Structure 1
Amino acid sequence: MCSRAAFRSRGSVPDSEPVTRRLLADGVAMVRLLGPQDRLLRVVERAHPDVQVLVRGNEITLTGDEDPVARAAELVEELLQMTRNGVDLDAAGVASSARMLRTDGSPRPSEVMGEAILSSRGKVIRPKTAGQKAYVDAIEENTIVFGIGPAGTGKTYLAMAKAVQALQRKEVSRIILTRPAVEAG
């Protein structure tokens, strides 16, 4: 258990007695979960600054006030689930997972990032946000989907991945690429 002095040295004094929660990362390579040089662990610590995170072997110990520890444990459990499902975590994915868990009504990160659309040369293409997941689901369920949104959010990339997936599954016989007949802007 962590002492109150350790919390004071981090700049926060708990209102009540600190809570400790231990999670076991059985069957998971810790470098896949924590990242090289613990980079992903640092992202978790930044997302939950009121929680002290200690990793020893395959045991992750979270210490702090009850609510922040519960939220941090939920994030770590989601990351463990994604790692077990073969998702290669990165800093952006961990930060996105933390945001999804903070948003009420948002799907679980393991549900969003767990669905692989296509795999090529060892790289897996999958949705990374709840919006991308909704877009991929709409493509799956509907014949025609209009994707409208800011540039660089993955609309064309995911649409092409779904098209190639349909071609590989022999759901379509060819892919026809078109461009707008009028100039944008």
Structure 2
Amino acid sequence: MEAVIEKNIEIPDIETEMNLFGQFDQNIRIIEDTLDVKITNRENEVKISGFESRVDQALEVIQKLLELIKHGETITAQNVKYLLSINGENIDETDGLPLDLVCITARGKPIKSKTYGQKRYIEAIKRNTIVFGIGPAGTGKTFLAVAMAVKAFREKAVSRIILTRPAVEAGERLGFLPGDLQNKVDPYLRPLYDALYQIMGPEAYMTNMEKGIIEVAPLAYMRGRTLDDSFIILDEAQNTTPEQMKMFLTRIGMGSKAVVTGDITQIDLPRGKKSGLVEVQKILQGVEGIEFVYLTGRDVVRHELVQRIIDAYEQYENRVREEQEKEKE
């Protein structure tokens, strides 16, 4: 039978202790409930007691949380649950913490990766010409890509930022919307506008838009162009056809970098039409200068309910696939 043990960890000050424990000790309670351990604090020390393997896991999670606090992070229930979900996994020690500063917003807020998946995504963008970020909603695919574009622009690595997405509507019709083509497609480009506005600030955003340094346009507008010295983001790429995907990738010119984001579980193309994002994975895997990064439900940084919804859908889709395979047999 596994031995019951007790281990202690020193807490440097009361501020760190309050940050670690969280409001009404919610952070520590999550660890206790998940690992079935008892955690108490006495003066500048936290005591963990329980079965040896569980105590060791709790100690590892708390040590990582303390490292996050050292880096200026405010610990949330989401931080705790994420570290518990990856606890015991073989993560490369060189990965360090899942923190990677991308840039500072106009209001002085740092934009950082929050999970190891996001960190790998950012590092892939740094070292490749084209990166595909594939994963569910809420994993920060688009926001981090826009942040990396702003960083490259501020550092004068590129002279333009171009954001695009296919104007494929989720069960709606463009023709029923008022205005000209630009007015019709604007609602589909709104998430890109919002991300830029938040990161650059209203003044810089408006100035650069007016100068044409920042361009937000539907994918159809990319045809026939060569995009040099630009940071280009193709969002919602699951809704491109294979022909559109090829057209986009062959627009990339000298000194440019491209990030393609999408969620292959949310394809809005007409029935029977192939997704360019699904097909491109079979064509470009292993090509030098191109990298595919896959984010999962663990990398969701929105409301924790979003993660539960994604997990529920994945389980349902797996059940449906299994039933279909049984029927074929």
With the shorter chain as reference, the TM-score category is: 0.7 to 0.9
Higher Rg: 2
- Tell me if structure 2 keeps the 8 A contact 1:87–1:114: no
Secondary structure of residue in 2 paired with 1:30:
helix
Amino acid at match of 2:134: I
- Which residue matches 2:74? 88
Mapping of residues 35-184 of structure 1, within 5 Å = 35-49=22-36, 51-103=37-89, 105-107=90-92, 111-120=96-105, 121=107, 123-180=109-166, 181=219, 184=268
- Which residue matches 1:5? none
Instruction: Report how far residue 112 of structure 1 moved.
Output: 4.1
Secondary structure of residue in 2 paired with 1:29:
helix
Amino acid at match of 1:130: Y
Amino acid at match of 2:48: L
Partner Cα separation in structure 2 for residue 82 and residue 150 of structure 1: 25
Partner Cα separation in structure 1 for residue 76 and residue 108 of structure 2: 16
Q: Cα distance 1:127–1:107, how it changes in 2: closer, same or farther (>3 A)?
A: farther
TM-score by length of 2: 0.47
Instruction: Report how far residue 127 of structure 1 moved.
Output: 1.8
Give the count of matched residue pairs. Answer: 168
Higher strand fraction: Structure 1 or Structure 2? 2
Partner Cα separation in structure 2 for residue 29 and residue 122 of structure 1: 23
Secondary structure of residue in 2 paired with 1:133:
helix
Higher relative contact order (CA 8 A, sep 6+): 2
Q: What residue ranges of structure 2 are gaps of 5+ in the alignment?
A: 167-218, 221-238, 240-267, 270-329
Partner Cα separation in structure 2 for residue 163 and residue 84 of structure 1: 28
Amino acid at match of 2:55: V
Amino acid at match of 1:114: L
Instruction: Report how far residue 107 of structure 1 moved.
Output: 4.6
Deviations 1:21-41 (A, max 9, x none): 110011552222221221211
Instruction: Report how far residue 139 of structure 1 moved.
Output: 0.6
Q: Cα distance 1:175–1:112, how it changes in 2: closer, same or farther (>3 A)?
A: farther
* Identity across matched positions, percent: 37
Partner Cα separation in structure 2 for residue 35 and residue 118 of structure 1: 27
TM-score by length of 1: 0.80
Instruction: Report how far residue 158 of structure 1 moved.
Output: 0.9
Q: What residue ranges of structure 1 are gaps of 5+ in the alignment?
A: 1-14
